[in-house]
Amino acid sequence: MPDTPYRAMRRTKIVSTLGPATSDHATIRALAVAGVDVFRLNFSHGTHGDHAARHGVIRDVEAELGRPLGILADVQGPKLRVGTFANGRVQLTPGARFRLDLDPAPGNETRVCLPHREILAAAEEGSTLLLDDGRLALKVCERGPDFLLTEVTLGGVLSDHKGVNVPDVVLPIPALTDKDRADMAFALDLGIEYVGLSFVQRPEDVREARRLADGRAWIMTKLEKPQAMDNLEEIVALSDAVMVARGDLGVELPPELVPLAQKRIIRVARRLGRPVVVATQMLESMVHAPTPTRAEASDVATAVFDGADAVMLSAETAVGAYPREAVAIMDRIVRRVEEDEVWRRQLDASSPEADHNVAGAIAAAARQIVATVDVAAVAAFTLSGRTALRIARERPACTIIGLAPSDDVARRLAVAWGVQAVSVGQETPVHTIESVVDQALSIIKADGYGGVGDAVVIVAGLPFGVAGSTNTLRIATIT
């Protein structure tokens, strides 16, 4: 049974990145007790051994606390970088010409190696290249088979191996590199719940990741490229969950467009019933400070008001000096927003139209019953997790209990808004609606989500054991 403080029903979930500052058992346990629902393993850093050790600790903590903890394996994706300089760095002056080519010789103030033929082939005259996370900008003036001649439009210091972004060009580069494939295979063998897919530009990128995952994990697509925004509907539909990766998205989009992109992604994800995580720099100052800025607190609150399923901490918990405090304050901000009447009204006002199928009608009916009758919980029997996600999409004003057939499915639901997942296992299989009702009421009463006399809405599918067959709704009373 979950710890009482955690079960004070926070609907919006918290994702926390692990790193050098958060690798030992005591710290990971403290983060989970403070409110973390999903732990992120960042495969851009660390070794397979590091990630395996953290995975083992998370599973130990999960067993101690008695509630499912999800694990996100975030693969790096292709990293586009310039080569090296003879002196390690150069100063680029606005208006100066600067050449990017395939010559591996160390660069200088007039040129540097760009070892990516795909960029040289795809860029056109007028294309913009951003260097070092957007701190410098170049405009392509001339292109050849093995070079780009550019004009510096935003100058500054450029040093070895700094990153390159091409915001206005679709690059013929797959989202998964050889390293990513190896990392993904390793993570799947470990047993993780989500693969974080970086550098997605096209729906084909998501299809390839799904093929490799083969149902062993959900694909959480990171939306960080403007090209992905051009294909947003199809990409979200193909994904199991999505992440608003505002760091990279903010490099390639003008700053004033990032908040609009965030809101659009959340709207589309909710309409399509996909959990959506808002990430990057949410409490960034807490890498070094014990409290966040007021602007950061407002940023977290805005994501909650917008209806995000989860909010994420990155450097704050991976390398920060105050990881537990960062989780605790994020938990406090989320809880306070969810106590606000305006939050509830805004959530109801933004409710998407019900899906035009039986499962969608059942989920919408469950939400309407909760709004009409005093209900302690909605219990969703969910073979794959999809039934619980349908209920979460409706944002009912009560606890959602996801009754899953296995630990794997229960852990996947850790990212879903308002869902408290319970693994019921296969030891006592249910075959009739009466046995479904009895099992649901017994679990809800035993775990403290409801008491004698409380009404419970139960959603399931007939016949039992068939994924995607949500077609039954029952209201029952705990005795």
- How far is Cα 305 from Cα 205, in angstroms, rounded to an integer? 31
Judged on CB neighbours under 10 Å (0-12, 13-18, 19+), 49 is exposed
280 as an active site residue: the answer is yes
40 as an active site residue: the answer is yes
> Which residue spans within 224-369 are E strands per DSSP?
241-245, 276-279, 310-313
In the three-class reduction of DSSP (H, G, I as helix; E, B as strand; rest coil), residue 388 is classed as helix
- How far is Cα 224 from Cα 199, in angstroms, rounded to an integer? 7
Q: Among 40, 54, 225, 390, which one carries the catalytic annotation?
A: 40
Inter-helix orientation angle 25-34/323-338, to 10°: 10
Q: Among 143, 222, 274, 395, which one carries the catalytic annotation?
A: 222
Residues 21, 321: contact at Cβ < 8 Å? yes
Q: Among 7, 59, 79, 81, which one carries the catalytic annotation?
A: 81
3-state helix, strand, coil in the chain (%, to 5): 40, 25, 35
Tell me whether strands 111-113 and 97-101 are parallel, antiparallel or unpaired. parallel
DSSP state of 255: G
332 as an active site residue: the answer is no
Torsion angle in degrees (nearest 10) through CA of 170, 264, 365, 382 = 50
Query: Which residue bears the tokens 């409380």?
Result: 454
On the question of a cis peptide bond just before residue 463, with omega within 30 degrees of 0, the verdict is yes
> Which residue spans within 75-187 are E strands per DSSP?
89-92, 97-101, 111-113, 128-131, 136-144, 147-154, 156-159, 164-165
Q: Among 17, 22, 150, 280, which one carries the catalytic annotation?
A: 280
Please list, in sequence order, all residues whose beta carbon lies within 8 angstroms of the beta carbon of residue 345, skipping any fewer than 6 positions away.
none
177 as an active site residue: the answer is no
- How far is Cα 402 from Cα 476, in angstroms, rounded to an integer? 16
- How far is Cα 116 from Cα 111, in angstroms, rounded to an integer? 15
- How far is Cα 416 from Cα 11, in angstroms, rounded to an integer? 9
Q: Residue 265 has which token pair?
A: 């992604």
Identify the H or E element spanning 41: strand 38-42
Residues 413, 423: contact at Cβ < 8 Å? no
Residues annotated as part of the active site: 40, 81, 222, 280
